[in-house]
Amino acid sequence: MDLARLVDLEVQLQRDDRALAEGRANELEARDAAIGGALLAQGGRLDAATAMGRQQLAAAWLDALGETGPRLGHRATHALRVAAWLLGLAAGLVGIGAARATLAYDGQQPVNVFGFLAVLIGLQMVLLAAMVVALLRGGDSVAARLVAWAARRWPGGHAALGAGQIAGRLQLHAAAERWHLFALNQRAAIAFNLGALATCLYLVVFTDLAFGWSTTLELGAEQMHRLCGSIAAPWRQAWPDAVPSLELVRDSQWTRMPGRFTTGAALPTAVQQSGRWWSFLVAALLVWGLLPRLLAWAFAAHRARRTLANLPLDDRRCAALFARLLPPAAAWSGPAPEAIGLPAAARLGNDRARPVPAVAHVATWLLCWGRLQPRQDAVRDLVARSTGTDPVGVGAVGGSALADDAAAVARLAAAQVQRVLLVLSAGTQPTKDVLELLATLRQRLGPRAHLGVALLADANGQLAPADAAELRPWQARLDRLGDANLGVERLEVPGHA
């Protein structure tokens, strides 16, 4: 993940968050499921379990969003680059200024080597050390703090910007930000050193300089020589000429009151000896000014890239994104429900059964369906008790042989029966098979014959009334036949209310 990508990711996550807040979750889900599906179809291995996998996923997601995705990342990084160059330019100018100031020679006083070392080497080292300490201490994101500060300054924008949220997101990337800022800082410092170096060389080559050293500190020539020796330690072997000798140091000590060298030498002599000093100063600037900045910059740039490359992307928003994007490893798929089932209007849902009329007190032919056939005597008893009238006759239908059904119907037709009660076990369904039998009866007995259907449940060997919910599908199916003389009826069972 590079910076541009990260910016785009954050912008898009912010947009999605707003969409979620507006209740457009379905939209996001559909969009991301489609993208995830397309990525799968391309044969990519999608994996949200590792930081690496998540980064690839996020990048692929941003690519897939294409035109609809944010375009801010490139502009932001471009702006950042321009800013870095401008900063470098400014730092270079400051470097030039600093070198000119410390190397200013007016022919009256020699350039103070001590001042040069203090400003261009000492101060730089202190600043670098302070930066490293700040870096190691970590702490809050500077950008987050800036946002919070801005929100305090301009309270109106607070809510509109969602400053708290933005600060929170920025805080997530505090480490990456720290390294980036550090690297940026080092680049500026490099420019500073280059500016100083160039100025240094320019002044040395094109003007006359006399070097001396003076300090209000208790510092003798030997100590100064030792100090210079330590500073020059790194290049002592490689460039012996750039190491000031004790003699040179002693000769160059300058007392300010009155302005003269302690040895009493004249300034023009010092100008001749300046070559010995400037090589030392240039080497010091190279080794103690420029080199540490180059190293720090290389390291910071590397770390900045690494931190970005290792961003965990495991925060809540990202997790929600990956959940939308990645279909579960295993899943079911099937047809749309509308394509396979009864339309909702034809279903029963939670409809309750209508009250069912009791079996009428009239002479009735009994037809026992299937399972009730062997128990037809018990059923017959029940009907007799329920209606106070003995059934006129009993027939068996719904058995294994279709011929038996036909025979039963033929008997009823022959007897010109006008009242039939079909009794079935509760649990038997109003299949086309049963309805067909009723249709045949209607056809053979004529439109005026009363046809009733009753259900009896088997409770531990005893016949019991079926529950109302079981009657409902029967009512619904019989209603559809549009037959006024056909309906579900209730058999009173003693002992059952």
* Nearer to other proteins among residue 11 and residue 363 (C-beta): 11
Rounded to whole angstroms, how far apart are CA atoms 451 and 471? 16
C-alpha atoms less than 13 angstroms from C-alpha of 33 in its C-beta half-sphere: 8
End-to-end CA distance of the chain: 75
CB of 437 to other proteins, least distance (A): 10
* Nearer to other proteins among residue 158 and residue 380 (C-beta): 158
Burial of 141 (0-12, 13-18, 19+ CB in 10 A): buried
* Nearer to other proteins among residue 133 and residue 330 (C-beta): 330
CB of 156 to other proteins, least distance (A): 10
Nearest to 308 by CA among 33, 74, 51: 51
* Nearer to other proteins among residue 140 and residue 483 (C-beta): 140
* Nearer to other proteins among residue 204 and residue 423 (C-beta): 423
Backbone φ and ψ of 313, nearest 5°: 50, 45
CB of 21 to other proteins, least distance (A): 11
CB of 377 to other proteins, least distance (A): 17
Joined tokens for residue 119:
């400003």
Rounded to whole angstroms, how far apart are CA atoms 285 and 431? 100
Element (H, E) at 436: helix 432-445
- Phi/psi class of residue 365: alpha, beta or left (left: φ > 0; alpha: ψ in -120 to 50)? beta
Q: What is the DSSP letter of 311?
A: -
Rounded to whole angstroms, how far apart are CA atoms 135 and 132? 5
CB of 219 to other proteins, least distance (A): 48
CB of 425 to other proteins, least distance (A): 5
Rounded to whole angstroms, how far apart are CA atoms 187 and 170? 23
CB of 325 to other proteins, least distance (A): 13
Q: Do residues 309 and 213 touch, judged by C-beta distance below 8 A?
A: no
Binding site for other proteins (CB under 8 A): 40, 147-148, 151-152, 155, 158, 163-164, 167-168, 172, 314-316, 319, 323, 328-335, 337, 339-342, 346-349, 370-371, 398-400, 402, 425-433, 436, 457-459, 467, 469-470, 472-473, 476-477
| Residue matched to tokens 């008790």 | 385
* Nearer to other proteins among residue 229 and residue 473 (C-beta): 473
